[in-house]
Amino acid sequence: MPYSISSRPLLAIESSCDDTACAVLAHDGTILAEGVVSQKDHAILGGVVPEIAARAHLDALPHLVQSVLNKASLSLKDIDAFAGTTGPGLIGGLIVGSSYAKGLALALNRPFIAVNHIEGHVLTARLPALNASLQFPYLTLLVSGGHCQCVSVEETGKYIRLGGTIDDAAGEAFDKVAKMLGLGWPGGPALEKLASEGRDDAFTLPRPLKGREGCDFSFSGLKTAVNRLIEPLGKGALPRQIAADIAASFQRAVADVLADRAEHALAMAPHSTALVVAGGVAANKTLRAALEKVASAHNIPFIAPPLRLCTDNAVMIGWAALERLHAGEEPNEIETAPRPRWPLNERTPPNATQQQK
């Protein structure tokens, strides 16, 4: 019997990296409750340790799910469907989160929707609370720690990847440069704060692939250039002003590259109704300002979701699931196996049996 979307809410879980997230959404996309548990143990280790992250997800989920349900004044029996991030991401976290959501779905005889983490990011801007009038097709620039790509969002389930990361993603470059400057991890917010004290023209740094045809990204060379800039200055802590000038110059170089790549992407997808930025790095004000200028030059809206919906969250997973349900897709995905890589142009990943063949 075909699935018929009801008026009852959907519960979603996101666990692809180091944030455990849960959200409950009404069938029309209204956010009824949401919550995120950020893992702190990785900071002293200088990066996410997959095994530690997976265990932390397992510890956090029972309390977090109940907390979110309490905020929404609901019980599990009130939930009509469950969704979970099934890829791409750290496989341990994906297994924990999606298995938890599947277990709830099986226990309550409810459907499960396997959601692509990237699809969640590219559809976030269509949340009714943000931009109910946003129409397909639009261009999404995804900039995060693990992903940097331009995607033409043609319709629900139809995405054209115009370009992507060749080596380091923008967020990864931010973290590595922040570490060079002694700022710790995660480095993005700390580097942005330090950069506000510096001059962005103090040092000449490369703009990898700027002006090159297409809209691929490369930040490895920029990261290396910063390292070579710092090496002659010694191994001790840099003077505050020099560190600030390096941070500001690096941040400006990244902003220039992203603006150039967005320009090229819009030339490849001239039918775009808006320029959307998503992912954790989208919180950076300098990067947003550069992209906003690009959108303005093309006479299209620039859309940047609020910070909590740019970083990894379960609202975007729930909304992606609802978009697919409203598009008429059947949510019979309980056999779908989590996978660390899941190209956006593959509608669903193979199920567990298929992966074993």
Which residues are documented as binding site for Fe cation?
117, 121, 312
Pair type for strands 10-14 and 148-155: unpaired
Return the bridge partners of 165, or none.
217
Contact 139, 295 (CB under 8 A): no
- Residue 147: both structure tokens together: 């992903």
Residues 6+ apart with CB under 8 A from 3: 111, 325, 330, 331, 332
Contact in structure between 313 and 14 (CB atoms under 8 Å)? yes
Annotated binding site: 117, 121, 142-146, 175, 188, 192, 284, 312
Are the C-beta atoms of residues 18 and 298 closer than 8 Å to each other? no
**Dihedrals phi, psi of 312, to nearest 5 degrees:** -60, 130
Tokens representing residue 313 in the block: 């969250």
Span between the terminal Cα atoms of the chain, in Å = 29
Output the known binding site for substrate. Answer: 142-146, 175, 188, 192, 284
